[in-house]
Amino acid sequence: MILEVNNITKKFGGVTAIKDTSFSVKSKEIYGLIGPNGAGKTTMFNIITGNYEPTEGNIKFHGQRIDGIKPYKIVHRGIARTFQNIRLFKSMTVMDNVLIGFDYQATYTYLESIFRLPRFFSEEKRVKQRAMEIMEVLGIAQFASEQATSLSYGQQRKVEIARALAANPQLLLLDEPAAGMNPNETHELAELFFKIRDEFDITILLIEHDMKFVNHLCDRVMVLDYGKTIFEGHIEDAIQDEEVIKAYLGDFKHA
């Protein structure tokens, strides 16, 4: 188990966003977190990445507790994420955006950069090469020197994923990666995720609404509704589960 989420409860004042939720993700798995709007999926992501502290429960990554650790340190441990609404660095080029992911891996000091000492050049060269490699896998290498915001929506998504991959994660969290994409793009994206998992040897945890996409991509899923787990297991069983259908489509019996 690469990630273990144990009995997490998160309360915002009187509102319970997540209630006693547990799940675990196996290494090299693509795990889906699904549920209607407001179910607490993004809150769960924010807890895993350290942006929120859970009210109760704990989270283990590679068997070590990571709840309560500062968000940037969790990234150093090997968890990177993308955002629901694309959040690229607007004033920077695609290359610089991806290089931000390498920030903690380039090991020259402040003074070495001010005086342009040899290690600055060798390290910059190394991370730029690695960044190019990642961008080539994602098919955005030709945009390296373009302004990040000048790209199309789908390509900006890829830049965001490239940036997250640059942080050298073992676990990649994707918050609605297929949102706003047409079926063709969605399909292409799913193939890309398989490729990413195999090439970079990582585990993927994703939030998604597009059931076809989830069905195609995920090994196992968890369905959340109003902060409660209503299903955990294989996707084929999920779409036939009565509780899940009720949450998504409403309760026909009592309508």
Partner 1 sequence: MNNTIFTRDRLINLSIIITTIWFLWFAQHFFDEYTIRIINNVAIFIILAVSYNLINGITGQFSLEPNGFVAIGAYVTAILTVDSEAMLYQYDIEDPYPWVLALQSNFGWALFFSGTISALLAASLAFPVFRVRGDYLAIVTLGFGFIIRILAINSPEITNGSLGINDIPEFSNLYWTGGMALFTVLAILNIIYSKYGRAMKAVRDDEDAATAMGINTFKIKTMAFTTSAFFEGIGGGLLAALLTSISPDLFTFFLTFQLLIIIVLGGLGSTTGAILGTIFVMAGLEWMRFLDEPMNLFGFETEALPGMRMVVFSLILIFVMLFAREGLMGKKELKDLFRRKKANK
Query: Given the rule CB under 8 A, which residues bind partner 1?
Result: 49, 51, 70-72, 75-76, 80-81, 83, 87-92, 96, 99-104, 106, 108, 110, 113-116, 120, 124, 127, 163-164, 166-167
- Long-range CB contacts for residues 58-66, cutoff 8 Å, separation at least 24: 58/6, 58/7, 58/8, 59/3, 59/4, 59/5, 59/6, 59/8, 60/1, 60/3, 60/4, 60/6, 61/2, 61/3, 61/4, 61/171, 62/2, 62/170, 63/1, 63/4
To partner 1, the closest distance from the beta carbon of 239 in angstroms equals: 32
Q: Which is nearer to partner 1, 127 or 244 (CB)?
A: 127
∠ CA 212-17-193, nearest 5°, is: 30
To partner 1, the closest distance from the beta carbon of 14 in angstroms equals: 26
Q: Name 65's bridge partners.
A: 60
Hey, is 205 helix, strand or coil? strand
To partner 1, the closest distance from the beta carbon of 81 in angstroms equals: 6
To partner 1, the closest distance from the beta carbon of 41 in angstroms equals: 17
Q: Which is nearer to partner 1, 41 or 220 (CB)?
A: 41
To partner 1, the closest distance from the beta carbon of 178 in angstroms equals: 20
To partner 1, the closest distance from the beta carbon of 72 in angstroms equals: 5
Q: Which is nearer to partner 1, 102 or 143 (CB)?
A: 102
Q: Which two three-digit tokens encode residue 83? A: 């955002």
Q: Which two three-digit tokens encode residue 42? A: 């993004």
How far apart, in whole angstroms, are the C-alpha atoms of residue 40 and residue 243? 17
How far apart, in whole angstroms, are the C-alpha atoms of residue 245 and residue 36? 11
Q: Which is nearer to partner 1, 75 or 214 (CB)?
A: 75
Q: Which is nearer to partner 1, 131 or 221 (CB)?
A: 131
Q: Which residues contact 128 (CB under 8 A, 6 or more apart)?
A: 95, 99
Q: Which is nearer to partner 1, 106 or 181 (CB)?
A: 106
How far apart, in whole angstroms, are the C-alpha atoms of residue 73 and residue 65? 13
The answer to whether 48 and 173 are in contact (CB under 8 A) is yes
Query: What 8-state DSSP symbol labels residue 82?
Result: -
Q: Which is nearer to partner 1, 80 or 204 (CB)?
A: 80
To partner 1, the closest distance from the beta carbon of 127 in angstroms equals: 8
